[in-house]
Amino acid sequence: MKPLVLITPSFERGRLIVRREYLQALQEGGLLPWPISIEGIEEVESYCQQAQGLVLSGGGDVDPIYYHQQPHAALGEVDPERDRLDFAVLAQALQRKMPVLAICRGLQVLNIARGGTLIQDIPRQKPSALRHQQKSPRWHKSHNIDIVERSQLHQIYRNGTGQVNSFHHQAIDRLGKGLQAVAHSADGIVEAIEGQGESFIMAVQWHPEDLFRNDQEAKALFRLFAEACKQYKRCIFSQNGEA
């Protein structure tokens, strides 16, 4: 059976929303995506007992109370239910050493969970920065990134550079514990982070699911995550004495 991978949804006007691009990218990578119900917050442990991976998807701003700051004037809309779900399921996944792929908002949640902080609004707090909220289609690449050598991401971007799309007004400020910044844009904004332990933790500030159809690096990123989930599943099954 394919590894079962949890994916966090957005909650908008009474509806749970998971963009189909996430589902398609995961399915084509050989995974079975399983959106978590926000109403099922109390069952997070049960979800994680059955899963072999976690995707923290994109979405709105995280409440700055989680990193001990007051809200900036340019802070966007926050969703307390979404925040509560994301941090709860991430805590379970990290405790179980489950593979984690965090995208855009997901990167920010991961950084905060490890004690890091955010730039609450790039245009106002970093006025010399590049435009990180592109006005072009989601499949269009809007700026370059530089990748750190000897990182997992460098296995994909072997020449040390790449191009990505960009739909965020927040970014990492102080990096969380046990994390390494492995990609930056030309203005110094952190574009990707990885965990420093044995388990697979990859987080990107861009949206590879929107590049997936025509971008080999985006495909390779999901394949790398899929292989980590398959390896995790084999390990769990071996520990449980299953075939």
Task: Name residue 13's amino acid.
Answer: R
- 12 catalytic? Reply is no
Selecting among 21, 104, 132, 168, the annotated active-site residue is 104
Tell me, rounded to whole angstroms, the distance of Cα 205 from its chain centroid.
Answer: 7
Question: Is 207 designated active site?
Answer: yes
Alpha carbon separation from 29 to 136, 153, 219 (Å, rounded) = 27, 17, 8
* 8 Å CB contact between 124 and 132: no
Q: Residue 104 catalytic? A: yes
Q: Which of 21, 191, 194, 209 is catalytic?
A: 209
Return the residue matching tokens 């390779």: 220
DSSP letter for each residue of 182-235: EEE-TTS-EEEEEESSSS-EEEESS-HHHHGGG-HHHHHHHHHHHHHHHHHHHH
Which of these is catalytic: 132, 194, 207, 229?
A: 207
What residues are annotated to the active site? 104, 207, 209
